[in-house]
Amino acid sequence: MEKIPKKNPEIIAKNVRGEMVLLNPLSGKYYGLNKVGCAFWEKADGTRTLPEIVSLLLEDFNVERERLTKDIEDLIKSLTENKLVTLD
């Protein structure tokens, strides 16, 4: 079974000129996502698996699947450590 990323409903997200700014009101910390991270955040709707999200992102970015998969895995690790998303 593939993991499905789910956004923490407490997180406040704002798209600022193509980059996503996330605020965790519980910790008071801000996080910034680049264009790829922003696109990931928008596609992580709680129903798509990680491979499905990577496939969608490949349509938007000219990058090899292996590279994008690695980048998304690194992003997910950071997002889960900071309690911005969970993997179900």
CATH class name, domain 8-82: alpha beta
CA distance 16 to 53: 22
- Tens of pLDDT along 53-80? 999 999 999 999 999 999 999 999 999 9
What is the average pLDDT across 40-54? 95
Q: For every residue of 5-55, which 3-state class applies, written as one string? A: EEECCCCEEEEECCEEEEEECCCCEEEEECHHHHHHHHHCCCCCCHHHHHH
User: Residue 66: which H helix or E strand, with range?
Assistant: helix 65-81
In the chain, pLDDT over 90 holds for what percent of residues?
Answer: 91
